[in-house]
Amino acid sequence: MSDLASSRPVPDEPPDPRPGGPSDVSGLFPSAAELFVPAARDPSDLDEYALSPLAEMIADLADLGPPSSGVPGDPARFGPGGQAGPPAAASDDTEPTARTIAALLAAPLTTPAELADAVAWCYDDAALPLLLPLARHPHAAVRRAVAQALPSVLGEAAPEDTVHALIALSADRDEDVRDWACFALGTQLSEVDSLRVRDALVARLDDPHDDTRCEALLGLARRRDLRVLPVLHERLSRDNVFSLEIDAAGALGHASLHTLVRGHLSGWDDDVVARVCAALRLTDPDGVGDDLLDGLSDWFRAGAPHATDEDRYWWSVTLQLLEHAEYRAPEIAEQVHYRLQFAEPATTLMLGSRLSQLAGDHGWPRWRPSC
């Protein structure tokens, strides 16, 4: 029976201070000035973020919204006796923004837990320059939140600084930080491919933390780095495996893994079964299966994407395959296109589908953006 202990990190766990740290950590939170003083040059440091520009940015963003804003200076934030209360992060129905983060950084009473909670749920691209230096924060809870948030605030910015920060975090002393950083590098930013990123993930293949190790493995497999092939052979030969190891086998798609994946078909929770079946198809030396290709062709003939939910089964299977092995899209698209010849309406639908777009992204010549 396969082990399902490998769970993708989830953001709804309250970020706690690093185990073994002091119970009262509020006095240890550095001020904005302390935080952005350039450190000694080191490959793992983000020392290009100097004090002046960021301090000014924090001051500008934190410069006090309207009276009910919940940022420093808001009278409503003062507790009994007129004493300043703890800085307020975003309310339950409001996502934190760059202004929220700046206000927390500017407030001397902000605790690491408050900052981490706001950072973890921030999706505001404008917050990126505020979050990058926090990759060096002394508290693991904040570093973990930064690793979680960076892919969400990257936006249209060049990825180099974000990747630099995540590579440093992937070697963090805290296992949860490493886990999130490897998930970000390996899966969320899998389109960013360089030897430096790959080597950072390879360095985590022997990590003592299971999820970190598996996220690194999956990230390398998504990049089709053959250094993971012997690792997958060894791990899938065990009696108990992690679901992310099965995902990695599917992402790599090497035929030598097919029999090993087949040996782990049972014992999974319902939500994992589809992923295991996808890995079985992706490693099959005979291809993804005529049943899938025929079913997908019939779906387009039925008028996709307007067919009923019951008719979407093979489309759902296809999407599961492409979740980790998008590079297989041209192969699937070409074979479906062949099955649809002389069926003009279905072919038109197929050529305008997400499948064809993904195939075109990977060099399939039949797709045209105008379809």
User: Tell me, what CATH number does 92's domain have?
Assistant: 1.25.10
The mean per-residue pLDDT over the stretch 141-148 comes to 98
**Based on the domain organization, do 215 and 95 belong to the same domain?**
yes
The mean per-residue pLDDT over the stretch 44-65 comes to 51
The residues with which 84 forms a beta bridge, in sequence order, are 78
**Based on the domain organization, do 214 and 99 belong to the same domain?**
yes
Assign 72 a pLDDT band (cuts: 50, 70, 90): very low
The mean per-residue pLDDT over the stretch 175-201 comes to 97
**Based on the domain organization, do 39 and 170 belong to the same domain?**
yes
Q: Please indicate, yes or no, if residue 16 is contained in any of the structural domains.
A: no
Lowest mean pLDDT segment, chosen from 53-62, 171-180, 295-304: 53-62
Q: Is the CB of residue 177 less than 8 Å from the CB of residue 185?
A: no
Cα angle 195-139-95, degrees, rounded to a multiple of 5: 85
Q: pLDDT at position 62, please?
A: 57
Sign of CA dihedral 174, 178, 179, 184: positive
Q: Please indicate, yes or no, if residue 157 is contained in any of the structural domains.
A: yes
Q: Alpha-carbon distance 336 to 318, whole Å?
A: 11
The residue from 188, 223, 258 where one domain ends is: 223
Q: Please indicate, yes or no, if residue 52 is contained in any of the structural domains.
A: yes
**Based on the domain organization, do 170 and 310 belong to the same domain?**
no
Q: Is 90 or 66 the better-scoring residue by pLDDT?
A: 90
In the chain, pLDDT over 90 holds for what percent of residues? 68
Q: Please indicate, yes or no, if residue 7 is contained in any of the structural domains.
A: no
Nearest residue to 172 (alpha-carbon basis) of 339, 20, 18: 18
Q: Please indicate, yes or no, if residue 155 is contained in any of the structural domains.
A: yes
**Based on the domain organization, do 211 and 318 belong to the same domain?**
no
Q: Alpha-carbon distance 79 to 329, whole Å?
A: 58
Say whether pLDDT at 282 is over 60: yes
Which range of residues forms the domain containing residue 344? Answer: 290-361
Q: pLDDT at position 313, please?
A: 87
Residue type, 138: P
Q: Please indicate, yes or no, if residue 206 is contained in any of the structural domains.
A: yes
The residue from 180, 202, 223 where one domain ends is: 223
Q: Alpha-carbon distance 211 to 183, whole Å?
A: 9
CB contact set of 279 (below 8 Å; sequence gap of 6+): 246, 247, 249, 250, 261
Say whether pLDDT at 358 is over 60: yes
Say whether pLDDT at 14 is over 90: no
Say whether pLDDT at 197 is over 80: yes
Q: pLDDT at position 35, please?
A: 43
Say whether pLDDT at 115 is over 50: yes
Q: Is 236 or 43 the better-scoring residue by pLDDT?
A: 236
**Based on the domain organization, do 127 and 213 belong to the same domain?**
yes
Q: pLDDT at position 39, please?
A: 35
Query: Whole-number mean pLDDT of the chain?
Result: 81
Q: pLDDT at position 53, please?
A: 59
Q: Alpha-carbon distance 164 to 157, whole Å?
A: 13
Q: pLDDT at position 55, please?
A: 59
Q: pLDDT at position 312, please?
A: 83
Assign 304 a pLDDT band (cuts: 50, 70, 90): confident
Q: Please indicate, yes or no, if residue 369 is contained in any of the structural domains.
A: no
Assign 147 a pLDDT band (cuts: 50, 70, 90): very high
The residue from 223, 251, 272 where one domain ends is: 223
**Based on the domain organization, do 64 and 211 belong to the same domain?**
yes
Q: Please indicate, yes or no, if residue 144 is contained in any of the structural domains.
A: yes
**Based on the domain organization, do 295 and 216 belong to the same domain?**
no
**Based on the domain organization, do 218 and 354 belong to the same domain?**
no
Say whether pLDDT at 32 is over 80: no
Lowest mean pLDDT segment, chosen from 68-77, 115-124, 299-308: 68-77
Number of domains in the chain: 2
CB contact set of 148 (below 8 Å; sequence gap of 6+): 9, 11, 119, 120, 180, 184
**Based on the domain organization, do 51 and 161 belong to the same domain?**
yes
**Based on the domain organization, do 214 and 312 belong to the same domain?**
no
**Based on the domain organization, do 53 and 170 belong to the same domain?**
yes
The mean per-residue pLDDT over the stretch 264-274 comes to 93
Say whether pLDDT at 23 is over 60: no
Say whether pLDDT at 208 is over 60: yes
